[in-house]
């Protein structure tokens, strides 16, 4: 695996004003001047990348009169790799918990669906046998039969959670695909 580099502020070319350089860089990168001003305070504006891309970023900065240096991130990766492993373990534990919860919900839903037709059949047979014995009471309100609920909402929520879990897994397994979100 190639080492990652970060472009850091090293100084300004002779005769270059910081505000002028900030405005030019902000217009080239199409970002706010506040973010560029943070770069002059040694805050990164680019995500860590390979050396070739970092050199291109440094050339872009040099074109507006900003001196930049490349900072290797291989040393910090060893300490951050432990943190990343712990974070990954916590994420996978959370995904496992959510998956098992979804499975339990699905089992309960199946049980409810199996019980529902039995309850409806028994209530219908009771009503069929006793309708002749009941007197017609016109003063009482007629009860509407319970309509069977559609489980569309529940299934769509479960599908949405699964899709979000898949997206979370992709983001965690392939963070370089979404590095544009960090900048």
**Angle (deg, nearest 10), helices 33-40 and 18-29:** 130
89 and 165 assigned to the same domain: yes
Please tell me whether residues 108 and 164 are part of one structural domain. yes
Kindly report the pTM of this predicted structure.
Answer: 0.40
For position 46, what pLDDT does the model report?
87
Looking up tokens 């009771």 gives 126
Query: What's the average pLDDT block by block, 10 residues per block, for the chain (183 residues)?
Result: 80 88 89 87 87 90 90 65 80 86 89 76 60 54 64 91 93 82 64
Residues 165 and 117 in one domain: yes
pLDDT at 161: 96
* Domains of the chain: total: 2
Residue 141 lies in a domain: no
Q: Could you tell me if 42 and 65 lie in one domain?
A: yes
pLDDT reported for residue 165: 95
Same domain, 64 and 96: no
Closest CA to 92 of 84, 103, 80, 81: 84
Which residues span the domain enclosing 102?
A: 82-125+151-173
Within this chain, do residues 37 and 91 fall inside the same structural domain, yes or no?
no
Same domain, 88 and 45: no
Buried b (16+ CB within 10 A) or exposed e, 10-27: eebeeeeeeeebbebbbe
Contact criterion met (CB below 8 Å) for 95 and 168: yes
């Amino acid at each position: 695996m190639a080492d990652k580099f970060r472009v850091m502020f090293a100084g300004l070319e002779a005769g270059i004003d910081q505000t002028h350089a900030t405005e030019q860089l902000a217009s080239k990168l199409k970002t706010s001047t506040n973010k560029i001003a943070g770069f002059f305070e040694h805050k990164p504006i680019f995500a860590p990348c390979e050396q070739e891309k970092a050199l291109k970023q440094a050339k872009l900065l040099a074109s507006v009169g900003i001196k930049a240096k490349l900072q290797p991130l291989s040393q910090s990766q060893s300490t951050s790799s432990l943190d990343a492993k712990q974070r990954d373990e916590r994420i996978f534990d959370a995904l496992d918990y959510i998956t098992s919860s979804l499975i339990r919900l699905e089992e309960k839903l199946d049980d409810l669906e199996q019980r529902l037709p039995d309850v409806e059949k028994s209530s219908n047979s009771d009503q069929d046998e006793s309708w002749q014995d009941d007197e017609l009471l016109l003063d009482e309100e007629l009860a509407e039969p319970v309509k069977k609920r559609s489980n569309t909402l529940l299934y769509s929520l479960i599908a949405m959670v699964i899709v979000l879990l898949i997206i979370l897994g992709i983001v965690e397994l392939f963070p370089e695909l979404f590095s544009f979100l960090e900048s």
